[in-house]
């Protein structure tokens, strides 16, 4: 997706928040990356982003520093800043974090019946996407479900950490956009997790989630481990 299209609505958001800080810019870019609107390898033009976001280049560079620290973007000397293309060690680190926070949220988090209803609605979306064979919609539903599971923790700090993880996960999922089977067989595993929560079987749900994350990591590593970190053929976003 072109950068201008990916950042539609930002001007209204600026007016609503009156925010022009580096952390705000980082949050905007992170959310667009997490939503799949800025793909791996996309060059982030300082000039265009400064114009669209209404910020100085210094503020933009502060945001790039934050995102580079999260491995969401990569600075390449004399070439610019690019949305990262995660490799094997990036995937391992993502899943180290996920194994720590997701099962814990499922095991000890608080939820009500309407929370489970919302989770089941996400499962319905995922199943519809699977029937239609729309990989991006399956990925969206997966992201939403795991974000909602972490939200059970009730911790804003943990939720913020998960937002960063989801941005990195979106970059990983981009490599799987032509692999429908990767997402489709996790739809029912997600459904089984929610069913266990509905039945009050938290310990089983947490154990199943750990197995789920192990399987997903292994499958992603098998696919992404051989991909080169190559920006030689990227096209600057327009």
* DSSP helix/strand/coil, 34: helix
Residue 229 is predicted with a pLDDT of 47
Token couple for 34:
């997490």
Residue 63 is predicted with a pLDDT of 94
Q: Can you tell me the mean pLDDT for 22-48? A: 87
For residues 97 and 146, what is the distance between their CA atoms, to the nearest angstrom?
Answer: 13
Alpha helices in the chain (DSSP H): 3-6, 10-17, 22-34, 46-53, 57-69, 88-108, 113-132, 135-151, 156-174, 180-198, 202-224
Q: Can you tell me the mean pLDDT for 20-24? A: 87
Distances 9 to 14, 23, 32, 53, 206 between C-alpha atoms, Å: 9, 18, 12, 10, 38
Distances 168 to 15, 85, 88, 91 between C-alpha atoms, Å: 28, 9, 12, 9
Residue 38 is predicted with a pLDDT of 86
Using alpha carbons, select from 220, 199, 205 the residue that is nearest to residue 102.
205
Q: What residue spans define the domains of the chain?
A: 5-83, 88-225
Distances 132 to 126, 136, 140 between C-alpha atoms, Å: 10, 11, 14
pLDDT tens-digit readout, 144-186: 999 999 999 999 999 999 998 988 888 887 766 656 577 788 9
For residues 40 and 191, what is the distance between their CA atoms, to the nearest angstrom?
Answer: 29
- HSE (side-chain half, CA atoms, 13 Å) at 17: 16
The reply to whether domains 5-83 and 88-225 share a CATH topology is no
Q: Can you tell me the mean pLDDT for 11-28? A: 71
CATH class entry, domain 5-83? mainly alpha
Residue 124 is predicted with a pLDDT of 98
Residue 177 is predicted with a pLDDT of 62
DSSP class per residue in 86-126: --HHHHHHHHHHHHHHHHHHHHH----HHHHHHHHHHHHHH
pLDDT tens-digit readout, 66-95: 999 888 899 999 899 999 888 889 899 999
For residues 199 and 224, what is the distance between their CA atoms, to the nearest angstrom?
Answer: 36
Residue 60 is predicted with a pLDDT of 94
Q: Can you tell me the mean pLDDT for 31-60? A: 88
Predicted TM-score (pTM) above 0.75: no
> Would the pLDDT of 47 be above 60?
yes
Distances 87 to 16, 124, 167, 208, 228 between C-alpha atoms, Å: 37, 31, 14, 26, 8
**What CATH number was assigned to the domain covering residues 88-225?**
1.20.120.530
For residues 73 and 30, what is the distance between their CA atoms, to the nearest angstrom?
Answer: 9
Residue 215 is predicted with a pLDDT of 92
Q: Are 135 and 185 in contact (CB under 8 A)?
A: no
pLDDT greater at residue 172 or residue 22: 22
238 pLDDT band (50/70/90 cuts)? Answer: very low
Q: Please give the distance of CA 104 from its chain centroid, rounded to a whole number.
A: 19
Residue 185 is predicted with a pLDDT of 85
């Amino acid at each position: 997706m072109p950068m201008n299209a990916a950042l539609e609505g930002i001007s209204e958001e600026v007016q609503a928040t009156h925010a022009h800080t580096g952390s705000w810019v980082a949050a905007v870019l992170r959310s667009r990356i997490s939503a799949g609107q800025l793909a791996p390898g996309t060059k982030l033009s300082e000039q265009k982003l400064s114009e669209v976001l209404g910020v100085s280049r210094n503020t933009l560079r502060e945001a790039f520093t934050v995102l580079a620290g999260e491995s969401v973007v990569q600075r390449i000397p004399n070439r610019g800043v690019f949305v990262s293309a995660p490799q094997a060690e990036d995937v391992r680190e993502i899943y180290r974090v996920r194994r720590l926070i997701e099962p814990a949220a499922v095991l000890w988090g608080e939820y009500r019946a309407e929370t489970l209803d919302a989770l089941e609605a996400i499962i319905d979306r995922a199943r519809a996407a699977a029937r239609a064979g729309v990989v991006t919609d399956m990925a969206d539903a997966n992201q939403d479900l795991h974000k909602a599971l972490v939200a059970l923790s009730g911790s804003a700090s943990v939720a913020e950490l998960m937002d960063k993880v989801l941005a990195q996960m979106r970059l990983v999922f981009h490599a799987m956009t032509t692999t429908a089977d990767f997402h489709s067989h996790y739809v029912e595993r997600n459904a089984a997790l929610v069913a266990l929560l509905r039945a009050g079987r938290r310990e089983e749900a947490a154990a199943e989630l750990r197995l789920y994350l192990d399987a997903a990591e292994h499958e992603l590593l098998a696919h992404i481990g051989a991909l080169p970190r190559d920006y030689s053929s990227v096209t600057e976003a327009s």
